[in-house]
Amino acid sequence: MVAMADEDIFETTIAGRIMWFKKSSEGQLIALQRVLNRLRTQFSTAEDPVVRREAATKLGATVLDVAESRFVDPADRDWVEEQMLLGLVDIPEIMKIFSNGAVREEPQPDDAPPPAKKTAAKRSPKAAPAKKTANASRARR
Amino acid sequence: MHPGRGVDVFQSVRPTQVRVVCFDTEWTLYPDSAYDWLGLLAADLEQLTGILPGGVCADQCEDMLRVALSHDDRDDRWTYAARVALGRAGGRDWWWVRNLARRCIQGWPYINGRLLLAGVNAKTLGFPEWLDAAYMLLWSAQEGKDQVLFDLELNRMPAGVAVRRDFSQIQAMGEAFAAD
């Protein structure tokens, strides 16, 4: 067995189970992306439902083939396969394996309040001068 | 018939379609314009992953992925083959092409703008011809000493890259050393 450095593996959670995976190289990810793009195009442009189904099946099989090579512990691989057969884990969840440990930041909604700015302590507002009323000016007289 | 007739030197030095052997398989690369080549180069100027496996023709993608899973030294093999492919695509030493491309990508709006004004369009021109035009643009914009420095910059090889020399060159070097 080839020894792996800590930086070559990463931890991620799939369906509540923490697992370790080998990081994919940039070239591997590019090769996978090219294949997935091709299959997605086949799927979306084909009019024949048989061709569409074939493309979809091939897409799933490709992801699983590549994902299988990334598991550090074979027991995790067997567990994920089992969960997939039970319908508890699907392809988008499996795609986490190719993230190399990067966590996607959730986008902020547009109407979220802006972060609080540091401001100088507010002075207590001065009492506004009382308005002169007709009665008051009459009383002075 | 003249023995040289039918032999296109430019076609052998600057082929229109670049092919490269890696993992004992011949791969055909899809880019045909300078714009495509620059785009793939810009993706990764160090390891050249944009060129290989990124530049492989669509019908070879799945084969490429399959070999990528079966070889542990795939990254090194891809880099070496991508260098060969880049040299073939540019018609010059791969590091010369990469250095010039890097310079052009860094100053893209200026260089592309000047070339477009001169009628040199990266989207319609082949990579070697576009590189010739870009080189002349940058070279002629400088004077005397700066032109020499520019050529030196383009010919500078990356650290850790060995030059292959044939036997006669090695012999000549040995003789020159002995004469000293």
| A45 occurs within a structural domain | yes
The reported pLDDT for the residue numbered A141 is 47
Q: Where in the sequence is the domain holding A92, given as residue range(s)? A: 26-99
Mutation site, B64, B77, B79, interface A, largest A CB count within 10 A: B64
Contact B49/A26, CB-based, under 8 Å?
yes
The reported pLDDT for the residue numbered B157 is 87
Report the share of chain A in percent with pLDDT over 90.
16
The reported pLDDT for the residue numbered A116 is 66
The reported pLDDT for the residue numbered A91 is 86
Per residue of chain B (180 residues), what is the pLDDT tens digit? 455 566 777 777 777 789 999 999 999 999 989 999 999 999 999 999 999 999 999 999 999 999 888 888 899 999 999 999 999 999 999 999 999 999 999 999 999 999 999 999 999 999 999 999 999 999 999 998 999 999 999 999 887 777 666 777 778 878 888 877
| A9 occurs within a structural domain | no
| B135 occurs within a structural domain | yes
Q: Where in the sequence is the domain holding B17, given as residue range(s)? A: 13-155
Amino acid at A50: V
Contacts of B72 in chain A (CB under 8 A): 2
| B109 occurs within a structural domain | yes
Instruction: Tell me how many domains chain B contains.
Output: 1
Residue A5 burial class via C-beta count within 10 angstroms: exposed 0-12, middle 13-18, buried 19 and up: exposed
Phi/psi region, residue A81 (left: phi>0; alpha: psi -120 to 50; beta: rest), is alpha
Residues 135-174 of B with CB under 8 A from A: none
- What value does the mean pLDDT of chain A take? 79
Instruction: Tell me how many domains chain A contains.
Output: 1
For residue A14, give the nearest of A68, A94, A70 by alpha carbon: A94
| A131 occurs within a structural domain | no
Number of CB atoms found within 10 A of residue B129's CB: 14
| B78 occurs within a structural domain | yes
Residue from the list B47, B58, B65 with its beta carbon closest to the beta carbon of A31? B65
| A32 occurs within a structural domain | yes
| pLDDT of A41 higher than 70 | yes
| A123 occurs within a structural domain | no
**Residue A5, SS3 per DSSP:** coil
Encode pLDDT of A93-141 as tens digits.
888 888 877 776 766 666 666 666 665 555 555 555 555 555 555 555 4
The reported pLDDT for the residue numbered A7 is 67
pLDDT band at residue A60 using 50, 70 and 90 as cut-offs = confident
Instruction: Give the minimum alpha-carbon distance from A88 to chain B in angstroms, rounded to a whole number.
Output: 27
Both ends of chain B: CA-CA distance in Å?
49
- Whole-angstrom Cα distance, residue A68 to residue A87? 18
Global ipTM: 0.76
Q: Residue B53, preceding bond cis, omega within 30 degrees?
A: yes
Q: Pick the residue from chain B with its C-alpha nearest to A32.
A: B65
| A67 occurs within a structural domain | yes
* Chain A CB within 8 Å of residue B64 CB: yes
- Residues sharing a CB contact under 8 Å with residue A93, sequence separation 6 or more, in sequence order: A14, A15
The reported pLDDT for the residue numbered A118 is 61
Contact A30/B50, CB-based, under 8 Å?
yes
| A19 occurs within a structural domain | no
Residue from the list A27, A28, A34 with its beta carbon closest to the beta carbon of B61? A34
| A48 occurs within a structural domain | yes
Encode pLDDT of A11-36 as tens digits.
988 888 999 999 888 899 999 999 99
Dihedral (CA of B148, B154, B155, B161) sign:
positive
